[in-house]
Chain A
Amino acid sequence: MDGEDICELNLTDLAKLLAARELSSAEAVGAALTRLERLEGGLNAFITVLREQALARAKKADEEIARGNYRGPLHGVPVTIKDMFETAGVRTTGGSKILADWIPQTDSALVERLHAAGAIIIGKTNLDEFGHGGSSTLSHFGPVHNPWNIDRIAGGSSGGSAAAVATGIGPLSYGTETGSSVRRPASYCGITGFKPTFGIISRHGSFRGAWSQDHVGLFGRWVKDITLGLDPVAGFDGRDPGSVRQEQPTYAAHLDANVKGLRVGVLRRFLEEVNPEVKQAFDASVKVLAGAGCEIIDIDVAELKYAAMTSMMTSSAESAGVNRRWFRARHQDFVPHVSRGLAAGMTITASEYLTVQRARQRIREALARTYEKIDIIAAPTTGRVAPLLSDGLKGNGDDTRHASYNHSNLLRFPSMLGLPGCSVPCGINIEGMPIGMQLIGNWFADQTVLNAAFAYQSTTDWHFRRPALAGR
């Protein structure tokens, strides 16, 4: 098996070969680094590449596995992480000029757990500055390009992570999501992205976008890889105030494609402005779920009309608070669009913020009532495919300023409410760009969401499609 073939392996298959010592970690890491170096000029997906460190860790992993000390499915596997996570001795920028040369002394909780699982971090991925954006064009280090068409955006803010997985630069990447920063880039880049219930993965040692909405999430080619990557990093961590006490994670062991009787809600009124090709792919995907035995139920949650604006206001106020000191001292060093957003956020008063939280509570209560009648909500992840870079920030078509049945509400409510959500590839449009479907579950119904995604991917092949850029 040559390096190009190794890069085509998903995590599930790669882990088996590493455990059986039919492939070495040094080979897997070397192949991923070679592909990274071949494609990075077109993608700009990475801020820092850890070639020497990764190869040294891979050698150590091979020695451990040879001694019979196999740690599990991430042992020896090349992975990437968004440059939001602190790494001891390795610069951590947040995509910002402000921290362009900052080298932390300690690891984030995510990195601690990845190291404990034996994963090999080969690079830190590009992003919108401190996670403030949905395009991955708002980075001090330049925009991330979409691997399916480098004239298009990868989506953000975790665009570098999504582009890496889509092109086989490691089978797994970890990102963060405050509004839609895992699900959107997963959809735009034709891969699987999962954001668990709020508090499942510790955020300790990662930069804050907005603390009440920030989540750690992950990217893989299919949901089975997601579960293998989720188990080692999920769990309580007292250093994160939002962390929840939970049982030992066993998402991979409980992955089950039998979803007969699962009640799937569809919010049809929010789909009226969705691009026809996206809607067509989504409708076909709902039929696949129905074919798997799911009960499809049309629902209407009118309160969701206010979700995008509530999420945006919460995010604006909290991120202004988080960045207050840096903003006052160095506002000119922020990316201009981010700087303007922080300035506006700093003018939101306490009573206004609390009013927004009251609205958030009303939406939360409405969703809680809805989940008494259904198990998951299915929707297009985004209302359109990845826009052109030349379309600018309006290319995503988001409307976070008006109460309406705009699709943006469906994109924003899961993070605002802390609900688990998974985006799976569900089509390719006429221009060759991927389309995604998201499945959103009740609080702590992460396994239900993963199982539904697994059922879908067990009977479809969209997750096998690769951008031409990833070929030989």
Chain B
Amino acid sequence: MNTRDRLAHRLALLEGVGLSPAEIDSVVSEIEDFERIVIELEEFSQDTAWISLQAQPTGKKA
């Protein structure tokens, strides 16, 4: 997926929200930052366990 398609795919998540062209430009800039950050954090956390949090019934023991 090229950059333009990828951004379009993300902006589709905002479908129905009447953003102005200026607002869309600003959001796109944020999205590009976010994508870069996630790549960095993915690399940073590679050897870390995935967190698993499961709610247990309160006051009960196995």
By a beta-carbon cutoff of 8 Å, the part of chain A in contact with chain B is: 238, 303, 306, 309-310, 313, 316, 327-328, 331-332, 336, 339-341, 343-344, 346-348, 352, 354-359, 361-362, 365, 401, 403
CB of B40 within 8 A of chain A? yes
Residues of B bordering A, CB below 8 Å:
10-11, 13-14, 16-19, 23, 26-27, 30-31, 33-34, 37-38, 40-42, 44-45, 48-51, 58
State the Cβ distance, B3 to closest chain A Cβ, in Å.
Answer: 14
The answer to whether A347 and B45 touch across the interface, beta carbons within 8 angstroms, is: no
Instruction: Indicate if the CB atoms of B27 and A362 lie closer than 8 Å.
Output: no
- Taking the nearest CB of chain A, how far is it from the CB of B14, in angstroms? 6
Q: Is the CB–CB distance between A344 and B48 below 8 Å?
A: no
Residues of B within 8 A of A340 (CB): 23, 26-27, 30
Complexed CA–CA distance, A303 and B43 (Å): 12
The majority secondary structure among interface residues of chain B is helix
Q: Say whether chain A's binding surface is mostly helix, strand, loop, or mixed.
A: helix
Known A-B contacts A339-B23, A343-B17, A359-B45; the reply to A352 vs B34 at CB < 8 A is: yes
Structural contact, B51 and A357, CB atoms closer than 8 A: yes
Nearest residue in A to B24 (C-beta to C-beta)?
A343
Contacts of A309 in B (CB 8 A): 37, 40-41
B45 contacts A361, C-beta separation under 8 Å: yes
Given contacts A328-B16, A331-B18, contact A362 B45 (CB under 8 A): yes
Cβ of B14 and Cβ of A352 under 8 Å apart? no
In the complex formed, the residue of B with least CB distance to A362 is B48
Q: Known interface pairs A344-B31, A347-B13, A401-B33. Does A356 touch B38 (Cβ–Cβ under 8 Å)?
A: yes
- Known A-B contacts A316-B34, A346-B13, A347-B10; the reply to A310 vs B26 at CB < 8 A is no
- Bound CA span A327–B16, Å: 11
